[in-house]
Amino acid sequence: MDNVIEYEGEVLPDGNLPLPQEIRQQLAATPHAAVRVTIQILTTLQTSAVEQGEDAWDAFCQLGQSPDPGRLPEASVRHDEYLYGKKR
């Protein structure tokens, strides 16, 4: 096969598959009117996306746990209480 471009990406929740800029540029420069797209589901990418989501929540929950001097403690956890006076 000529002109094969391989790319591993993550399908977004809305079903879109974003392409890197360099691939879009290659496609724009190609005089062909059609392309063939083959999708292979990779379980390792799906697992890493889940782990990244869990890591993101862990990082979010750690925000404000050890604040700098003059900062409110547990700022992310007690956000509504600090801003609106609502207790958890």
- Give a yes or no: residue 2 inside a domain: no
Tell me: the pLDDT tens digits for 33-65? 677 888 888 776 545 555 666 777 777 777 766
Query: Is 14 part of a structural domain of the chain?
Result: no
pLDDT at 1: 47
User: Residue 88 — very low, low, confident or very high, per pLDDT cuts 50/70/90?
Assistant: low
> Is 1 inside any structural domain?
no
Considering the domain boundaries, does residue 11 fall inside one?
no
Q: Report the length, in residues, of the chain.
A: 88
Closest by CA position to 13, among listed 54, 53, 64, 61 = 53
> Does this model's pTM top 0.85?
no
* CB distance 87 to 81 below 8 Å: yes
Q: Which residue is listed with tokens 């392409």?
A: 19
Q: How many independent structural domains does the chain possess? A: 1
Residue whose C-alpha is closest to residue 63's, from 73, 50, 55? 73
Task: Assess if residue 33 is contained within a domain.
Answer: yes
User: Is residue 79 over pLDDT 80?
Assistant: no
Cβ burial of 58 (10 Å; 0-12, 13-18, 19+) is exposed
Residue 48 lies in a domain: yes
Note down the domain range covering 29: 21-84
Residue 80: inside a domain = yes
Domain assignment present for 7: no
What tens digit of pLDDT does each residue of 3-29 get? Answer: 788 888 888 888 888 888 888 888 888
